[in-house]
């Protein structure tokens, strides 16, 4: 049985957890780094296991700071969380389209906020470094993993302070989804966005 609980439209990123505002240049040269966070999720229940999945995206991604030359129409991240014999599982893949820039993304770390099924922020974050660089419009290999229960989510936007096993298990029991996708690190470089 499948219940679709929500679909989030695209919103301009104004996240206060992004490590700062827009990047600035010297001598009146304003550096502009921007993107729009978008996507949605499904909640699927398959008794006795629960599954949480969705597809998030970063649209109109532009990084001009330090001549980065990055400009993508869209980067999509597909996530999947479940349990198997009492252990937490996650997997994810990524795809892109419309590279309009002078350079390419080789490495990426993305961050998403964790929400409960009522739509309230839990104050937790999920970080993921998927394989990037597959051909345009092709999903990257679906990388699966089963980390320890206390290595899924963090309590701060910089990827520190993993939450406890009990808190993670409670999320899996009560339900959650990811939203507000953020390009945390690109090609080993962090940027600020307007």
Q: How far apart (Å, rounded) are the C-alpha atoms in residues 56 and 45?
A: 20
Q: What are 177-187's pLDDT values in tens digits?
A: 999 999 999 99
Across the range 84-104, mean pLDDT stands at 92
pTM for the predicted model, two decimal places? 0.84
Least confident of 6-10, 28-32, 54-58, 172-176: 6-10
Domain limits, the chain:
2-186
CB 141 within 8 Å of CB 130: no
Q: In DSSP terms, which residues pair with 50 in a beta bridge?
A: 45
Q: How confident is the model at residue 18, as a pLDDT?
A: 56
Instruction: Give the pairing of strands 33-46 and 2-12.
Output: antiparallel
Q: How confident is the model at residue 13, as a pLDDT?
A: 46
Q: What are 32-75's pLDDT values in tens digits?
A: 899 999 887 665 555 456 888 899 999 999 999 989 999 999 99
Q: How confident is the model at residue 34, as a pLDDT?
A: 95
User: Which of the two residues, 101 and 86, has the higher pLDDT score?
Assistant: 101
C-alpha distances (whole Å) from 66 to each of 9, 30, 165, 194 are 31, 11, 41, 15
CB 117 within 8 Å of CB 174: yes
User: Which of the two residues, 106 and 19, has the higher pLDDT score?
Assistant: 106
**Which string of DSSP letters, residue by residue, matches 97-112?**
EEE-SSS----EEEEE
C-alpha distances (whole Å) from 88 to each of 49, 84, 171 are 10, 7, 11
């Amino acid at each position: 049985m499948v219940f679709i609980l929500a679909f989030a439209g695209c919103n301009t990123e104004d996240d206060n957890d992004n490590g700062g505002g827009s990047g600035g240049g010297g001598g009146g040269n304003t550096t502009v780094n921007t993107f729009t966070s978008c996507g949605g999720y499904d909640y699927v229940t398959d008794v006795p296991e629960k599954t949480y999945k969705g597809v998030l995206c970063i649209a109109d991604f532009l990084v001009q700071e330090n001549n980065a030359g990055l400009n993508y129409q869209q980067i999509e991240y597909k996530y999947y969380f479940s349990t198997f014999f009492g252990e937490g599982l996650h997997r994810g893949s990524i795809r892109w389209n419309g590279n309009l820039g002078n350079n390419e993304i080789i490495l990426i770390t993305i961050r998403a906020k964790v929400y409960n099924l009522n739509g309230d922020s839990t104050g937790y974050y999920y970080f993921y470094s998927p394989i990037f660089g597959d051909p345009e419009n092709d999903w990257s290999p679906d990388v699966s993993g089963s980390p320890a229960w206390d290595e899924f989510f963090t309590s701060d936007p910089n990827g520190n302070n993993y939450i406890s096993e009990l808190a993670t298990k409670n999320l899996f029991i009560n339900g959650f989804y990811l939203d507000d996708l953020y390009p945390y690190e690109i090609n080993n470089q962090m940027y600020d966005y307007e």
